[in-house]
Amino acid sequence: MSKIHGKTLEELHALLVSREITVVELIEETFDRIKEVETDIDSFITLNEKKALEMAKAIDEKGVSEENILAGLPIGIKDNIVTKDLLTTAASKILYNFEPIYDATVMDKVYQSDMIPVGKLNMDEFAMGGSTENSYFKKTKNAWDQTKVPGGSSGGSAAAVASGQIPLSLGTDTGGSIRQPAAFNGIVGMKPTYGRVSRFGLIAFGSSLDQIGPLTRTVRDNALALNAISGFDEKDGTSSGKSVPDFTAGLDSGVKGMKIALPKEYLDEGVDSDIKEAVLKAADTFRKLGATVEEVSLPHSKYGVAAYYIIASSEASSNLQRYDGIRYGYRSENAATLEDVYVNSRSEGFGDEVKRRIMLGTFSLSAGYYDAFFKKAAQVRTLIREDFKKVFADYDLILGPTTPTVAFGLGEKIDDPVTMYSNDVLTIPVNLAGLPGMSLPCGFSNDLPIGLQLIGNHFDEKTIYKAAYSFEQTTDFHNKKPEIFERSK
């Protein structure tokens, strides 16, 4: 069973179907691997060992059918996705002891597929941050270099997959929080179209922006995972009723005849030269595969960061008012009055970044400033959507870098929120427009992975997967592993 952590979902499935290994053995091996690597990576907040092994035993008893590809496979869950009777903290002190009484809809789908959640993954508190340094519990490290950040807010989800602890995880993406850590860790991360995956049971940050998606080591694995978690949910008022295709169908049909747009704004002076070079080489690869790649303009993208932080913070200030020290979670002991309970519980329970965004959002929504800030940001959002709409009238996909730099050092930018926010400049427009976007590896700079971002039209994840799979099969970046991945007992 050595090196089992390096196998794809389908390879693991084949081993289970043939009974070369049992589900119990696979899950035991997964926990052994987590315990071996976790002290260096710090990607998990809570492990689910007892329940996971019980589930594994039950699946072994009924057997893994050939049709159920994900049955018995381990999966990690970002800790802002509600899990019944399993600690769900959103990496915040204010939810340090919260055990939900229900499951998120994506968890229902995980269980319907017979996947086995092995634990809850670290993140920036309430998904607010781009480095996973804002967690109350721990700081996750990059799989390639433990002195670097893993990205955020889904840093635990990305680092756990990239370090070989699990083959699959779920993250969430509000402004790039799946794609950016996927890029920093050299794996595949998909942010689906807004409404493709139910948000019921996702602890809300920015309700008009949040979306759950999978992180994996290969494109095909990612498509298999999105198949399992997508679909309409009557519990979510923003859930789409559009039918869900098989995202793995036609993966190998190639990109010949496809038209791909390369926005000039995505390669401006803020993007490192190594990243520009890698993305332009990727564009040439697509040309060699038969696609047309042409330069276009998304002129309002440069206003995306400013608009996003007003909109997202405004929605956060509304969403986070429910944490009051009364009903669940942390309650301050330093309280003589009801007002003290509210004020002190929130002051002591929220971290600095969460407080910063609550204050920014509350200010933007206040009577004297709503028109100047929130309304203006909403208008810019509409302009960004229109930019994308014009491009997609003529093109099948948009191509560009995922991030302007590779992973930066732990502690390097945590005290400079404006610089940290600007790192999301290439991912944020996708969320503002509600589009699907993926990051996959396309090169290296200073031995750290570079992410290639592919953006599709609404509900056209299939085209993204086809192009990504063609690129992956033509290149070797997905086969490169960090040193920690190769570590074995």
The answer to whether 32 and 5 have CB atoms below 8 angstroms apart is: no
Angle between helices 376-392 and 304-319 (to 10 degrees): 120
The DSSP code for 8 is -
For the residues of 27-62, what is the DSSP string, one character each? HHHHHHHHHHHHHHH--EEEE-HHHHHHHHHHHHHH
Instruction: Give dist(CA 417, CA 360) in Å, integer.
Output: 13
Give strand ranges (E) for 435-476: 437-445, 448-456
Q: Is the peptide bond before 153 cis (omega within 30 degrees of 0)?
A: yes
* Identity at 108, one-letter amino acid code: D
Cβ contacts of 488 within 8 Å, gap of 6 or more: 2, 3
DSSP assignment letter at 137: S
Using the CB atoms, write b or e for 101-111: b if 16+ within 10 Å. Answer: eebbbbbbbbe
Report the SS3 class of residue 432: helix
User: Which amino acid, 73?
Assistant: L
Annotated active-site positions, please?
78, 153, 177
Residue identified by tokens 């920014």 is 360
Could you please report the per-residue DSSP string of 53-95?
HHHHHHHHHH---SS-TTTT-EEEEETTB-BTTB---TT-GGG
Q: In this structure, how many other beta carbons lie within 10 angstroms of the beta carbon of residue 98? A: 17
Q: Residue 461 contacts by C-beta under 8 Å, 6 or more apart in sequence?
A: 190, 192, 193, 196, 226, 247, 436
Cα–Cα nearest to 51, from 118, 136, 137: 118
H helix and E strand count, the chain: 16, 11
Separation in Å, CA 441 to CA 110, 275, 380, 419: 26, 11, 31, 24
Show the DSSP H helices in 272-375 as ranges.
273-288, 304-319, 338-349, 352-365
Say how many C-beta atoms besides its own lie within 10 A of residue 189's C-beta. 34
Nearest to 388 by CA among 340, 430, 424: 430
